[in-house]
Amino acid sequence: MEPLDQKTVKIAFVILTWNQREKTIKCLSNLRQIKKPSFHIVLWDNGSRDGTVEAVREAFPEVLAHHHTDNLGVAPGRNAAAEFAIKRLNPTHLLFLDNDMWVEPNFVGALLKPFIDDKTIGQTQAKLRFMSDPQRLNDGGGCRISFWLGRTVPIGYGELDRGQYDTPKQCVACGGAMMVRADVFQRLGGFDTGFGVLGPDDLDFSLRLRKAGYNVLYVPQAVAYHEVSHTYGRDYNQKYARLKARNWFVFMRRHASLMEQLAFLFLGAPYQFSRMVIREGRKGNLAALGGVVSGLLDYWKSDAQRAGKSKIH
């Protein structure tokens, strides 16, 4: 395939916010340091009540800020924001960035360069460091997925950044600091909103993109600093456990091999459940165990419904 003509490139940042006015303003202030390549910014406000959009429009008139009446959540919000950006700006590339991140001046150019050099690239992923401890890695190469163990962990998480992850490589990208071709994003239907608030819709998207024949590249030259401000799921309650369990089985069915699924059922699942019994039992949080069982039942019910529909058709 021929390389992309850089003159035709048009980049649109896609940033979500929800009642985080000051954090969002800091993020946008940081992006003003980037001089090239040129880009546009779409800020999608997920129903904030703290005056975020008004403050952004006053301080950053160049930002296309949209206030939605309700909180759509992460995946639906990103999809809606991307659709809004495509309709208003017609970008060639979408750059998804969490509003609790700051980036280095060459961030955009580094993420874009692989697309210019190789048309098979569909997605690029940045290196992430912790904002509170800039010498340590939050993500040094996308996500490492262990289907048999039922675990997903960012590569290099918590390690001192000594340059051990400074080589570009194929990866499974996370959604917080990544660039994707707009046409590919549309072709794949964006993020799967069926996972709800707990994902892993971003990992699912990256794996679907790879299955579609595109390459996903980790770009260590693109560096962002992450404040890590997730608020959902701090308490391992019944609802959290139920959603996590249900989503994991959906994710595994879609992307794991038969051997990986069997290994999880006979090795990984008993091991993880035993650990959870000990951990949550000490806390007296037995409701979480019931949540896991409920999540498994949710998955089986949805699986049975899918099977019934396939027989009808």
Cα–Cα distance measured from residue 170 to residue 216, given in angstroms and rounded to the nearest whole number: 6
Single-letter residue type at 102? W
pLDDT for residue 6 is more than 90 = no
Query: In this structure, are 21 and 65 located in the same domain?
Result: yes
Q: What is the DSSP letter of 268?
A: I
Query: In this structure, are 155 and 183 located in the same domain?
Result: yes
CATH assignment at residue 127: 3.90.550.10
Tell me what pLDDT residue 233 has.
44
Question: Global pTM?
Answer: 0.91
Last residue within a domain, chosen from 226, 251, 273: 226
Between 138 and 290, the higher pLDDT residue: 138
Residue 128 lies in a domain: yes
Tell me what pLDDT residue 307 has.
39
Tell me what pLDDT residue 7 has.
76
Query: In this structure, are 78 and 117 located in the same domain?
Result: yes
SS3 of 208, please? helix
Residue 232 lies in a domain: no
pLDDT for residue 174 is more than 80 = yes
Query: In this structure, are 152 and 251 located in the same domain?
Result: no
CB atoms within 10 A of CB 119: 14
Residue 231 lies in a domain: no
Q: Please give the tally of structural domains in the chain.
A: 2
Residues in the chain: 313
pLDDT for residue 136 is more than 50 = yes
Structure tokens at 129: 């460091």
Per-residue pLDDT, averaged over 127-155, amounts to 97
Query: In this structure, are 182 and 102 located in the same domain?
Result: yes
Cα–Cα distance measured from residue 139 to residue 87, given in angstroms and rounded to the nearest whole number: 32
pLDDT for residue 37 is more than 50 = yes
Half-sphere exposure of 61 (CA within 13 A, CB side): 1
Residue 221 lies in a domain: yes
| Residue pointed to by tokens 């874009």 | 112
Give per-residue burial for 246-259: e unless 16+ CB within 10 Å, then b.
Answer: bbbbbbbeebbeee
- DSSP secondary structure, 10-53, as one string: -EEEEEEESS-HHHHHHHHHHHTT--SS--EEEEEEES-SS-HH
Tell me what pLDDT residue 135 has.
97
Structure confidence at residue 144 as a pLDDT band (50, 70, 90): very high
pLDDT for residue 122 is more than 90 = yes
Percent of the chain with pLDDT strictly greater than 70: 88
Cα–Cα distance measured from residue 145 to residue 149, given in angstroms and rounded to the nearest whole number: 9
Residue 15 lies in a domain: yes
Per-residue pLDDT, averaged over 175-197, amounts to 94
Tell me what pLDDT residue 240 has.
75
8 A C-beta contact, residue 93 and residue 182: yes
Tell me what pLDDT residue 22 has.
97
Query: In this structure, are 201 and 244 located in the same domain?
Result: no
Single-letter residue type at 277? V
Per-residue pLDDT, averaged over 161-181, amounts to 97
User: 258 is in which domain, residue-wise?
Assistant: 238-312
Last residue within a domain, chosen from 163, 195, 226: 226
Residue 13 lies in a domain: yes
Between 21 and 272, the higher pLDDT residue: 21
- Whether the bond between 91 and the residue before it is cis, its omega within 30 degrees of 0, is no
